[in-house]
Chain A
Amino acid sequence: MIEISHLAKKFAVESPKKLSEQEKKDPRLKGRYFHSVKDVSFTCDDGQVLGLLGPNGAGKTTTLRILSTALTPDKGEVNINGIDVLKDPIIARKKVGFLSSSTGLYGRLSGRENIAYFGQLHGLSKSDIAAKINEMADLLDMHNFLDRRAENFSSGMKQKVSIARAVIHDPELVILDEPTTGLDIMATSTVIAFIERLKAQGTPVIFSTHHLDEVQALCDKVVVINQGETVFNGTISEFSDLSGGHMHQSFLSTLDGTKMEKSNVVNL
């Protein structure tokens, strides 16, 4: 079980003068600090898939980075299966698989070497790594490009290798930051199938997305963040019921009348 309570994180603004007009008007900007996350709380049980929603700049990526231990919060607590992430980040890292939105790979290493490197960083044996890579290659359909250098991979190939890299150590929690952004239909369906498999295995998954159809298809829980605060935290049916089953309207209603750019919510 993952418990996140009252997370807060602010960043020093290097050059306040360089901020755009929209950024200057953001109520989270206070003096030289931008309060990216002000108060975020939610839980995710084993076997649950939690969809993290919110407009661009809401604080989703910062929240996920805190969960993955890449960032340290200013306030709040994160607990993963009884491990305090802030006190024992190294232990927590062994339990978390994180896919960042950048899906960066080492271009001069092959797909297999990229995955194996992270397996080694997690202390897995060579035989375990080899077996796990083969299993992932079957699941994510990677056999035909796995031994090629990653610098020539398409977006879909990169995303598949990145996912395999994130879960090579069989994590107890998987965090995916916009896993289907920029992917074609085939690659998207492979990723969705992979998340369904994790759910079936009982591994909790937290993923951020703008695709409400994915939320409807995969999620047990929905958390909506707006301007650094949790504005909705409930089951998928509770979320859907907010507007009589219409996901888009439900989402907008959680934002408390905030006008949304249409580009922020796709596949309605």
Chain B
Amino acid sequence: MWLIFKKEFTELLRDRKTLIFMIALPLLVFPLILGATIFFTTSAVSDAENKVLKYAMVGQANAPAIYQALKEAPDKFEEVEIAADADYAALINRDEIDFVLEIPATYNEDILSSGQHTLKLYFNDAGLNKVYRRVEEIVKTLSDEYQTQAFETLSLTETQRDALMEPIIISRENVADEREVWGERIGAMLPYFLFFLCLQGAMAPASDMGAGEKERGTLETLLISPMERYKLVLGKFFAIALSGVISALITVTSMAVWGIVISQGMAVEFVATLMSMIGLADFALVFFMLVPVVAIFASLLLTLSIYARSFKEAQSYMGALVMVIIFPVLIAMMPGIELKGAWVWVPLTNVALAMKELIKGTMDYYALFGIFTSTAIIAGALIAFSVYWFNKEKVLFR
């Protein structure tokens, strides 16, 4: 068995395609995609922040302070003259102007007698833009001044002002500790990533070790070697499983390292805090739970691969398998789904939910043992089926 495993793994490490999927992709391409996404998003936000916005004010005489504030920031705002009866929407949609601010005639009246002033801001809110936020920034200063003046007129104390501004507030008294909060947020995503990465990393090697043997014409020679069939299957099974785990570990490590690099150390504190909250034992248990899951994936992939007549056929079967496997994991991510009742017995969903509970620190370890055992039994049954499948002539000589 070790001999088969060693040979399969040697071949894997010499295969450019596998190396690209297993190592280069997670080490370089994923982080590059992540980095490029962050770079372009940041650039777009920065451009929107720094863009000189062309504007027109209607009724500017009513609000000289706002007009003045806009005028005093020529590096941010540029006034454009428009006709009194101009079509604002048309001007904005033709990119001749970024926004029109319409001031009502009652703007200078006392708010205690006239009521709330409404300024109309015409702009195109589709896509990334910061028009509303940048105009609000200027108007808010003036709005705050109005508010202060009004309160002074009414001779209200600071306590009265606060009570008037927000008569009823709900104070958040969160009994969940910080770990549970983070666990709820991250714990649901973690199994999805781990399952998907393990599956993806194992797919190419599995195709090669089953259907690839048929396509190359090496299967027949291998079958007549004096090695028992179950050893052949187990050797291939372990090579597939290990490649899946390695691929997942490389990806997770790579994303963490690149995350630290990209965020210039900001993530170090976050990762360190999260790790200290989770604890090594629970973290180890998360990966321990991954063992039978990877075994399920590897045996399923090998079974499909040996059934397929060609590499291409194997890949198409595996594409369908991904959908079937990801579905129970997605269920675990849905709000309200917890490790209770029937969900404890749903394969893969229960493991994903258990991983979330482990991250949150709320796992019932007796239940964890039950889930591990049931998943291991399923994995064992699937490996046994792989061995049975590997003995079927109608599968091997299709």
Chain A residues near B (Cβ < 8 Å): 11-12, 14, 65, 68-72, 90-91, 93-94, 96, 98, 100, 102-109, 113, 117-118, 120-123, 149, 162, 165-166
Name the segment of B93-101, B218-226, B262-270, B277-285 touching the other chain: B218-226
Cα–Cα, bound, A93→B220 (Å): 12
| Interface size range on B against A | 20 to 34
Is B224's CB under 8 angstroms from A12's CB?
Answer: no
Cα–Cα, bound, A121→B5 (Å): 12
Can you name 26 A-B residue pairings with CB atoms under 8 Å? A11-B394, A65-B220, A70-B223, A72-B393, A93-B225, A93-B226, A94-B226, A98-B220, A100-B220, A100-B221, A102-B217, A102-B220, A106-B7, A106-B11, A106-B216, A106-B218, A107-B216, A109-B14, A117-B3, A118-B225, A120-B3, A121-B222, A121-B227, A122-B226, A149-B14, A162-B221
Query: What are the 4 A-B residue pairs with the smallest beta carbon separation, nearest first?
Result: A104-B217, A102-B217, A121-B225, A104-B218
Smallest CB–CB gap between B15 and chain A, Å? Answer: 6
Given A12-B394, A72-B393, A108-B11, A93 contacting B217 (CB threshold 8 A) = no
Given A105-B216, A106-B216, A123-B226, A165 contacting B221 (CB threshold 8 A) = yes
B398 at the binding interface (Cβ < 8 Å): yes
Given A14-B398, A72-B393, A120-B3, A103 contacting B217 (CB threshold 8 A) = yes
Chain A residues near B11 (CB, 8 Å)? 106, 108-109
Smallest CB–CB gap between B326 and chain A, Å? Answer: 30
Cα–Cα, bound, A162→B217 (Å): 11
Cα–Cα, bound, A22→B388 (Å): 34
**Chain B positions 348-398 with a Cβ under 8 Å from a chain A Cβ:** 393-394, 397-398
Which residue in chain A gives the minimum CB-CB distance to B18?
A108
Chain B residues near A (Cβ < 8 Å): 3, 7, 10-11, 14-15, 213, 216-228, 393-394, 397-398
Cα–Cα, bound, A103→B216 (Å): 9
Smallest CB–CB gap between B392 and chain A, Å? Answer: 11
Smallest CB–CB gap between B211 and chain A, Å? Answer: 13
Chain B residues near A90 (CB, 8 Å)? 226, 228
Chain B residues near A113 (CB, 8 Å)? 10
Which residue in chain A gives the minimum CB-CB distance to B223?
A70
Cα–Cα, bound, A120→B4 (Å): 10
Is B224's CB under 8 angstroms from A96's CB?
Answer: yes
6 extra interchain contacts, Cβ-Cβ under 8 A, other than A71-B397, A120-B3, A121-B226?
Answer: A90-B226, A90-B228, A93-B225, A93-B226, A121-B225, A166-B221
Cα–Cα, bound, A38→B349 (Å): 52
Cα–Cα, bound, A121→B3 (Å): 8
Cα–Cα, bound, A130→B225 (Å): 19
Cα–Cα, bound, A19→B294 (Å): 40
Is B224's CB under 8 angstroms from A93's CB?
Answer: yes
Which residue in chain A gives the minimum CB-CB distance to B220?
A100
Which residue in chain B gives the minimum CB-CB distance to A149?
B14
Is A98's CB under 8 angstroms from B224's CB?
Answer: yes
Which residue in chain B gives the minimum CB-CB distance to A93?
B226
Chain A residues near B220 (CB, 8 Å)? 65, 70, 98, 100, 102, 104
Chain A residues near B398 (CB, 8 Å)? 14
Chain B residues near A68 (CB, 8 Å)? 224
Given A12-B394, A14-B398, A106-B11, A69 contacting B224 (CB threshold 8 A) = yes
Smallest CB–CB gap between B227 and chain A, Å? Answer: 5
Which residue in chain B gives the minimum CB-CB distance to A12?
B394
Smallest CB–CB gap between B335 and chain A, Å? Answer: 46
Is A108's CB under 8 angstroms from B218's CB?
Answer: no
Cα–Cα, bound, A68→B3 (Å): 22
Cα–Cα, bound, A99→B280 (Å): 54
Cα–Cα, bound, A94→B51 (Å): 79
Cα–Cα, bound, A68→B223 (Å): 9
Which residue in chain B gives the minimum CB-CB distance to A71?
B393
Is B226's CB under 8 angstroms from A98's CB?
Answer: no
Is A105's CB under 8 angstroms from B225's CB?
Answer: no
Chain B residues near A72 (CB, 8 Å)? 393
Is A98's CB under 8 angstroms from B15's CB?
Answer: no
Cα–Cα, bound, A12→B7 (Å): 34
Chain A residues near B14 (CB, 8 Å)? 108-109, 149
Is B218's CB under 8 angstroms from A105's CB?
Answer: yes
Smallest CB–CB gap between B334 and chain A, Å? Answer: 41
Chain B residues near A105 (CB, 8 Å)? 216, 218
Is A118's CB under 8 angstroms from B221's CB?
Answer: yes
Chain B residues near A11 (CB, 8 Å)? 394, 397
Cα–Cα, bound, A93→B225 (Å): 6
Smallest CB–CB gap between A41 and chain B, Å? Answer: 22
Chain B residues near A166 (CB, 8 Å)? 221
Cα–Cα, bound, A96→B221 (Å): 11
Is A117's CB under 8 angstroms from B216's CB?
Answer: no
Given A14-B398, A121-B3, A104 contacting B10 (CB threshold 8 A) = no
Cα–Cα, bound, A11→B397 (Å): 10
Cα–Cα, bound, A69→B397 (Å): 13
Cα–Cα, bound, A70→B213 (Å): 15
Is A98's CB under 8 angstroms from B10's CB?
Answer: no
Smallest CB–CB gap between A262 and chain B, Å? Answer: 28
Which residue in chain B gives the minimum CB-CB distance to A116?
B7
Smallest CB–CB gap between A45 and chain B, Å? Answer: 23
Smallest CB–CB gap between A254 and chain B, Å? Answer: 28
Is A104's CB under 8 angstroms from B226's CB?
Answer: no
Cα–Cα, bound, A63→B270 (Å): 67
Chain A residues near B228 (CB, 8 Å)? 90
Smallest CB–CB gap between B239 and chain A, Å? Answer: 13
Smallest CB–CB gap between A249 and chain B, Å? Answer: 34
Chain B residues near A123 (CB, 8 Å)? 226
Is B224's CB under 8 angstroms from A104's CB?
Answer: no
Give which listed residue, A104, A108, A109, contacts B221 with CB less than 8 A.
A104
Cα–Cα, bound, A121→B225 (Å): 6
Chain A residues near B225 (CB, 8 Å)? 93, 118, 121-122
